[in-house]
Amino acid sequence: MNDIASCCDKNSGKEDVSKDDVQSFYSNAALTPQESLCCPTQYDLGDLSHIPKEVLEISYGCGSPVGKAGLQEGQTVLDLGSGGGIDCFIAAKYVGKTGHVYGIDMTEEMLNVARKNADQVVKNLGYNNIEFKRGFLENIPIEDMSVDLVTSNCVINLSTKKGDVFKEIHRILKNEGRFLIADIISEVEVPDEMRNNKELWGECISGALTLQEFINFARENKFNGLRIQKDYLWKEVSGIKFYSYTIEGSKFSSRENPSDSNSVFATYTGPFDTVIFQGTKFQLGAAVEVDRNTATILSSHSYNGQFILTDPQIEKPTGNTSETSCCS
């Protein structure tokens, strides 16, 4: 399993961080909780009441994608890099006994914690809809088109083959399925010397994509309807800022060319928390991918000043620009 590849599938010709490095990093982090890995994730307390403390102590996510997903009873959810299982356990409650939740992780020690605590979660919920499987993001052990929602919480940055991860997410999603990913995004491309630092990679820093790289991977893998929420500044390392983002994308099979390079991003700037326009929900500060016709309407006089429109081919979408650091 010595899968050595450079971050972002770029052929730098150098030996970077490997999956084995990441795995040994998270074996330790499963056995001994690591303060420095715990981002200031804001979970809704009501979502956590059925989850044992041991799981919460090794919660290493940077967002709360499941709570934002609008899940419905009976849906199938798959969490990539499920770790101690926190997001799977939250999803298990939302989708109810007719739904199903898979947690996928490559690290046995993480899976051991998740499986052990699943017994208590099942007792607390009164039903069992959770399954943890050992596997890789780049080769997900789930059949094609079987999942409604793929979530992932601070994990994609750790992959050494991110293109494969997006391809796999697309393969396992049902038509009109979605991904909701919380991850660390770098304000600029991470330089090679930083990429080769195993510790920084494990800490979710040096494997981070820029927003444009993330959008490119999503588009190349036929996702659209992208929504981008910039959540907070996670860390500044060697003068580079790393932010936590939540990004959603959809798989639409019915459109011929779903990765519409002609689309633009509309960011709602208030005064309300949320508005719905032509069936699309715009949350304050989140950039939402729209077609050019919609963009023209949103830039018209009636919506004057309420939306910022950006073309991802030219500039990156405007998001929530709160720059409060979690760790200073």
Ligand X SMILES: C[S@@+](CC[C@H](N)C(=O)[O-])C[C@H]1O[C@@H](n2cnc3c(N)ncnc32)[C@H](O)[C@@H]1O
Question: Phi and psi for 208 in degrees, rounded to 5?
Answer: -65, 140
Contact positions with ligand X (CB under 6 A) in 85-124: 86-87, 105-107, 110
Closer residue to ligand X in complex, CB, 86/173: 86
Closer residue to ligand X in complex, CB, 94/268: 94
Residue selected from 7, 16, 17, 19 as contacting ligand X according to rule CB under 6 A? 19
Distance CA 40, CA 315 (A): 29
Find the farthest-apart pair of alpha carbons in the chain and give their distance in angstroms, rounded. Answer: 58
Beta bridge partners of 209: 185
Closer residue to ligand X in complex, CB, 1/276: 1
* x/- track of binding to ligand X for residues 243-282 (CB under 6 A): ----------------------------------------
The helix (H) or strand (E) run that includes residue 168 is helix 162-172
Residue selected from 48, 95, 158, 309 as contacting ligand X according to rule CB under 6 A? 158
Distance CA 111, CA 117 (A): 10
Q: Which stretch binds ligand X (CB under 6 A): 76-84, 213-221, 258-266, 304-312?
A: 76-84
Residue 142 interacts with ligand X (CB under 6 A): yes or no: no
- What is the three-class DSSP state of 202? helix
Residue selected from 7, 8, 17, 22 as contacting ligand X according to rule CB under 6 A? 22
Residue selected from 81, 225, 249, 319 as contacting ligand X according to rule CB under 6 A? 81
Distance CA 59, CA 167 (A): 26
The helix (H) or strand (E) run that includes residue 112 is helix 108-125
CA-nearest of 39, 98, 50, 54 to 72 is: 98
Are 278 and 307 within 8 A, CB to CB? no
For 39, the token pair is 């981002």
Q: Give how far the C-alpha of residue 305 lies from the chain's centroid of Cα atoms, to the nearest Å.
A: 30
Contact positions with ligand X (CB under 6 A) in 189-208: 204
CA torsion angle 120 123 124 125 (round to 10):
120
Residue selected from 64, 129, 159, 263 as contacting ligand X according to rule CB under 6 A? 159
Q: How far is the CB of 49 from ligand X (least distance, A)?
A: 18
* x/- track of binding to ligand X for residues 30-69 (CB under 6 A): -----------------------------xxx--------
For 211, the token pair is 């927003």
Preceding peptide of 65 cis, ω within 30°: no
Residue 209 interacts with ligand X (CB under 6 A): yes or no: no
Residue selected from 132, 136, 179, 242 as contacting ligand X according to rule CB under 6 A? 136
Residue selected from 117, 153, 206, 244 as contacting ligand X according to rule CB under 6 A? 153
What number of chain residues touch ligand X (CB under 6 A)? Answer: 25
Residue 132 interacts with ligand X (CB under 6 A): yes or no: no
Residues that bind ligand X (CB under 6 A): 19, 22, 26, 59-61, 81-84, 86-87, 105-107, 110, 136-138, 153-155, 158-159, 204
